Structure 1
């Protein structure tokens, strides 16, 4: 009897049912789209942070930034010296200057201290370097007297005599090229932790655990393309030749370094024996990262600990703006629309009950109890809510699919402010990064999970119950006499 009456009433009041269902559907669809876009924002931010962290890295430890007092010791500035050539010209000269990134380093014994802290599953050190290569040639000028040929030489002419009055030096000078690239010394015995894990080997191979002091290198694909390097070629850093054993492509689209070397080799190049710039840490429990951070800061002095949450605060640009809109404005808009939809559904249901006074009064006169009448009204409202849920899920999935299909590009600027020398071993946040802010582009997607769909179904049922509560309360107050008064 209940379902028969329910089916008949839904058919009779199609328009009212469609209005109630449409209002609920709009709110539910908005919740699905906002939830899926927020999830997409989270994935985009994870992709950006992955370019700063190696896979599996929960935090990094760097040396605390030292404020240099006035007149105190300052970092050594790079100096370049070239041999003077007594004879000839056009001979190319070059020199490399290898600097520790950020001029801040820790003793590699710090890795063991960090690894001993409670909650630390693994810790590995690395050395971030910046190489400045200056190469070019000097060209000697020629002294020429007015109206006469001149000999090659400097200010003293070909024979070293003083230039006569009226003569001048023509040509000569210097043409030098300055090239800068980043080098990262990685602990090859710990291949599962560190910045190289965020890259995929697309040619050749990665380091072997036995190559702790081998003259081998892995080159980032962008740097390899720029320098026309392939697996099997050699690269020279500060006079030392390294064999290229692999080409790595950063999964995040932004490489941590141009060149990766075994840690010992990097320390030798930089004259930084037993020194590191960054310690990559993996916690035993991702839920205890804050407590692990506190333990390291307390027990390992002179260090700065940076977590992914700290780095997330430094990400700006359109990604940050869109994320704020999705989590702030989008959430409140969804709540406002849902509340409005629930209220409208409740008022419409209550109004429908008012128009059915004679019907419900007659049913009560025939023996229906108030509870049965109320149950009938609530049942109809729940069906309206489920109809709105189905329609809302369809609209929400369509909206999320449209966002994913369009895949709008968002920009994320990675600036400093993580503390220390960047929090990730460099001035910005990763080995080999320049001091200026780095801009990454990520495509926005809107994945819809089962949790979101379950939330939509729950909201649909809740909307029906809210509407049914309004109508049921009104129906329970009806008396059979109300129906008789309306009989003509």
Structure 2
């Protein structure tokens, strides 16, 4: 009887049922789209951070910046040439990025901290070559009595000058015995091979693909670093964004060429448990003096641009808007259901006169509202999925601007990082980087479950309004009213 009466009433009041279902569908669809876009934002931010940290890593650690002494100046490269000799001259320098280093013993210190699964050191360098020539000027004699050239007075120097070119690239000394950590984890090997564990002091190199193409280098060839030739054994392509370095060589070779024996700029660390990042951060800051630990959440704060703006809109304005529309839909559905009950007082009065209990009338009203809610939920899920698919199909491009400060502190490719004062990491001195990220709107099963719950909840709320109104009807009063 319940389902027969329910089916008949829904068919008889199709328009009213469709209005209630459509209102709920709008709110549910908006919730699905906003949740899916928010998930896409988080996914995009994760891709940006992954391009900085690498796979399977969690945070970065840098040595706390020290206030420069009053009147002091930061270390800068100096090139000296003797102009009196003329001719072609060159100066080749391999500098530590940040000009500060840590002892290799720092790696062991960090590795002993609670919650640290693995740690590895690296040395970040910049190679700068300046070459060119001086052309001495020619003395032109002055003319006698005129003071002009050729006059017999003082002459003047004409011509001459200098023409120098600068070539620079980044070099990273990597611990070849720990291939799972370090900058190379953010790149995929596309040609040749990576380092072997036995090549800890070999003259071999892996190049970034963009740099190799620019310099027309390939596997089997040679790249020169501070006058030493290294055999190119592999070429790697950065997975996202820019690479950590142009040239990767074994750590011992980098230390030797940079005159930085037993020195490193970076310690890459992997946490044992990604849920215990805060504890690992506290342990390193406490037991490794003068360090600043930067988690992925800290680094995410440096990501700006349209990605950050859109994420803010999706997480604040979008969610509040969807909640407001959903609340309005629930309220309208309840009011419409209550209004429908008020127009059916004669019908319900007759049913009560025939022996229907108030509870049975209430259940009938709630059942009708619940079916309306389920219909609205189905329509809302369909509309929400269509909206999410449209966002993914269009794939609007968002930009992520990465601040140089914290990015330099973390550097691409390896979990926690300990670097020397003023950073000293692979990209410490680089300007802000901009990445283009294609936005998608993935819809998870949890979002679908939420939509279904909202549909049922909306139906129950509307049924509660109508059921409360119907339960207050008295048969005698109801029969006196004309519909």
What is the TM-score normalised by the length of structure 2?
A: 0.91
Secondary structure of 2:260's counterpart equals coil
> Any idea what the Cα deviations from partners look like across 1:246-283, whole Å, max 9, x if unmatched?
11111113211111111111112221111112212211
- Segments of structure 2 that go 5 or more residues without pairing to the other structure are 144-149, 412-418
Q: Which residue pairs with 1:127 in the alignment?
A: 123
Equivalent residues in 2 for 1:110-149, closer than 5 Å: 110-143=106-139
Contact 1:304 1:423 in 2 (8 A): no
| Pair 1:485 & 2:473 matched | no
Equivalent residues in 2 for 1:390-401, closer than 5 Å: 390-401=378-389
Q: Which residue pairs with 1:153 in the alignment?
A: none
Q: Which residue pairs with 2:345 in the alignment?
A: 357
Equivalent residues in 2 for 1:164-313, closer than 5 Å: 165=153, 168-313=156-301
Residue 62 of structure 1 deviates from its aligned partner by: 2.3
Tell me, in whole angstroms, the C-alpha distance in 2 between the residues paired with 1:38 and 1:293. 28
How many residues align structurally?
A: 469
Residue 60 of structure 1 deviates from its aligned partner by: 2.1
Residue 180 of structure 1 deviates from its aligned partner by: 2.4
Equivalent residues in 2 for 1:32-71, closer than 5 Å: 32-71=32-71
Q: Which residue pairs with 2:409 in the alignment?
A: 422
Secondary structure of 1:304's counterpart equals strand
Contact 2:60 2:409 in 1 (8 A): no
Tell me, in whole angstroms, the C-alpha distance in 2 between the residues paired with 1:486 and 1:480. 10
Contact 1:32 1:448 in 2 (8 A): yes
Residue 413 of structure 1 deviates from its aligned partner by: 1.3
Equivalent residues in 2 for 1:303-452, closer than 5 Å: 303-418=291-406, 422-424=409-411, 431-432=426-427, 434-452=429-447
Residue 81 of structure 1 deviates from its aligned partner by: 2.9
Residue 137 of structure 1 deviates from its aligned partner by: 2.5
Q: Which residue pairs with 2:79 in the alignment?
A: 80
> Any idea what the Cα deviations from partners look like across 1:181-238, whole Å, max 9, x if unmatched?
2111111111111221011111111111111111111111121222122112211111
Contact 2:404 2:429 in 1 (8 A): no
Label 1:222 to 1:428 Cα distance change in 2 as closer, same or farther (>3 A): farther
Residue 143 of structure 1 deviates from its aligned partner by: 4.5
Q: Which residue pairs with 1:470 in the alignment?
A: 465
Residue 485 of structure 1 deviates from its aligned partner by: 0.6
Q: Which residue pairs with 1:158 in the alignment?
A: none
> Any idea what the Cα deviations from partners look like across 1:56-105, whole Å, max 9, x if unmatched?
11122222212121145x54321223466858x4x4x3322222112232
Contact 1:428 1:435 in 2 (8 A): no
Label 1:163 to 1:127 Cα distance change in 2 as closer, same or farther (>3 A): farther
Secondary structure of 1:261's counterpart equals strand
Residue 487 of structure 1 deviates from its aligned partner by: 5.4
Tell me, in whole angstroms, the C-alpha distance in 1 between the residues paired with 2:111 and 2:356. 74
Tell me, in whole angstroms, the C-alpha distance in 1 between the residues paired with 2:228 and 2:269. 31
Tell me, in whole angstroms, the C-alpha distance in 2 between the residues paired with 1:164 and 1:15. 112
Tell me, in whole angstroms, the C-alpha distance in 1 between the residues paired with 2:387 and 2:2. 37
Contact 2:52 2:410 in 1 (8 A): no
Residue 301 of structure 1 deviates from its aligned partner by: 0.9
**More off after superposition, 421-430 vs 134-143:** 421-430
Tell me, in whole angstroms, the C-alpha distance in 2 between the residues paired with 1:465 and 1:186. 62
